[in-house]
Amino acid sequence: MQEIIQAISVAAVRIKKAIEFSDTGYSEHTNKTGDTQLKLDIASDLIIEEEFSKVPSVKTVISEEKDEAKLLHEEGRYIVGYDPLDGSSLIDVNLAVGSIFGIYENGMSGSDLICAVYVVYGPRVEMVVAWSKVTLYRLNESGKFIKIKEIKLNEKGKLNATGATQKGWAAYHKKLIDEIFADGYRLRYSGGMVPDLHQILLKGGGLFSYPSTTDALKGKLRMVFEVFPFAFVFEKAGGGAIDGKRRILELKPSHLHDTTPCFFGSNEEIKRVLNEYAKH
């Protein structure tokens, strides 16, 4: 596992450089979900693939930007599912973005995940590794990731990050979100799930939701590349992750690019969602 984390740190430094200095324009390609890819999405995907191709324990890679899984080492043990540059359209307005990685063994269901890593490219570059614990690392001047601390969520937080277009929300979802705000929670939502979830994790807790909407019944966020890895991080940090009714890590995608509604948070907020959603 260490060699995979090491490859991610090398890729992160290369991607940070690409974000800072290379072309932020669109390419002429679309990904499996139908998004037009930025040149940076493609470049980041290739950087990561290149670094993993040097790691014999990585059998297969599959990413948000690839139509299909790619075999790297026949004898390898792990499958890595990743979103190379999540929130990439925010680079234009100079907001933080991230890379998300799920390291799976045997299959690509939530229960096959054994480690999750994400990198935030903000004013600083930080990497969070969830394995038995959740550890925060920060890139230093010499290009090395230094351990900062373990991340542990409080039982209840103060932040509310509400995703998706409100006009597509179910009435009961709107009621739940309104009640949470009425209880004093503050809105925090940049539109980049990596910095938005990172903020909740580091500020002690709260709720991030990306629900089902009238035009996207299964939400927007992809299980294998985005939702499972963060569900793993939140559970290991002492919080929870659900699709409204079920634990995210019990879900099984039928296709690699499947999406799911999702809620990540500290325990009190997750209980609150479960109670409200159980009525519908």
* Site of interaction with ligand AHM (CB under 6 A): 35, 64, 83, 86-88, 163-164, 191-193, 220
The least distance separating ligand AHM from the CB of residue 146, rounded to whole angstroms, comes to: 26
> C-beta of 166: minimal distance to ligand AHM in Å?
10
Q: Nearest 5 degrees, angle CA 35-CA 36-CA 39?
A: 130
Residue 56 interacting entry, from Mg ion, ligand AHM, none, C-beta within 5 to 8 Å by type: none
How is residue 256 annotated by DSSP? T
Tell me if 105 sits within 8 A of 77, measured CB to CB: yes
List Cβ<8 Å contacts ≥24 apart for 72-77.
77/105
86 is a site residue for Mg ion (CB under 5 A):
yes
Specify whether the CB–CB gap between 185 and 112 falls below 8 A. no
First CA to last CA across the chain, in angstroms?
41
CA distance 271 to 104: 28
For residue 35, the partner it binds in Mg ion, ligand AHM, none, with Cβ less than 5 to 8 A by kind, is ligand AHM
Q: How far is the CB of 244 from ligand AHM (least distance, A)?
A: 17
Q: What is the 3-state secondary structure (H, E, C) of 15-54?
A: HHHHHHHCCCCEEEEECCCCCEEEHHHHHHHHHHHHHHCC
Q: What does 88 interact with, of Mg ion, ligand AHM, none (CB < 5 to 8 A by kind)?
A: ligand AHM
Q: 250 near 240, Cβ under 8 Å?
A: no
The listed partner (Mg ion, ligand AHM, none) that binds 164, CB under 5 to 8 Å by sort, is ligand AHM
Which residue of the chain is nearest ligand AHM when measured via CB? 193
In the list 41, 45, 65, 83, the residue contacting Mg ion (rule: CB under 5 A) is 83
* Residues 215, 219: Cα–Cα separation, whole Å: 9
**Sign (positive or negative) of CA dihedral 241, 61, 121, 12:** positive
Residue 218 CB, shortest distance to ligand AHM, in Å, is: 13
**C-beta of 261: minimal distance to ligand AHM in Å?**
12
Closest to ligand AHM by CB, 219 or 239:
219
Comparison of 167 and 279: residue with beta carbon closer to ligand AHM:
167
Give the footprint of Mg ion on this chain (CB under 5 A): 83, 86
